[in-house]
Structure 1
Amino acid sequence: MARVNCPNCLAKATVTSREKQSDHVVHLYCSCNNTKACGATFRICQSFDHFLNPPVTNTTEMAAALLKQLPRQAQLDLLNSC
């Protein structure tokens, strides 16, 4: 898991609990480990943004869908060029 830092003093913080908002969003409740000088508690919103490289199953499905849109001869030509 990613490291969480206090937004006030930038010290390490500990995730004390999490609250799922949706499949792609979660709220992390955190506590600053710098208890003598800061001691802040705060909430971070963590969310999924996008894939940098899609999962293999998605890539295979996308390739198959694109191939199906080509005429039969174009499909064969493409497969034979590999």
Structure 2
Amino acid sequence: MVIIARVTCPNCEAKATITSRKKQSAHVVNLYCSCTNTKECGATFRITQSFDHFLNPPCKTTAQLAASLIKNLPREEQLELIGL
């Protein structure tokens, strides 16, 4: 999972830097962060980021699903689908 995020400190809301990350599973990662407001805050904290679900499935997955469904149809129905 690629991390592209702007992190802010939950204490002072200043920008924070991701100092390290630890992958928990294929879809969950812990981000270890440090507040850049070192004079007034300087907090360090962990954020857990996870994948929830697709809003639109990837095209390749959709095409593979369609091919699988077509292969399981009787030959006559396959030919009918492609207009022969």
Same fold (TM over 0.5): yes
1:54 to 57, 64, 74: 57
Structure 2 residue 21 is the aligned partner of structure 1 residue 22? no
Any unmatched runs of 5+ in structure 2? none
- Give aligned pairs, total: 81
Q: What is aligned with 2:76?
A: 73
Distance 1:13 1:43 in 2: 11
Runs of 4+ in 1 over 6 A off after TM superposition: none
Any unmatched runs of 5+ in structure 1? none
Taking structure 1 as the reference length, the TM-score comes to 0.82
Greater shift in the superposed pair: 8-17 or 53-62: 53-62
By how many angstroms is 1:33 displaced?
Answer: 1.1
Code of the residue aligned with 2:74 in structure 1: it is P
Percent identity, aligned pairs only? 70
Taking structure 2 as the reference length, the TM-score comes to 0.81
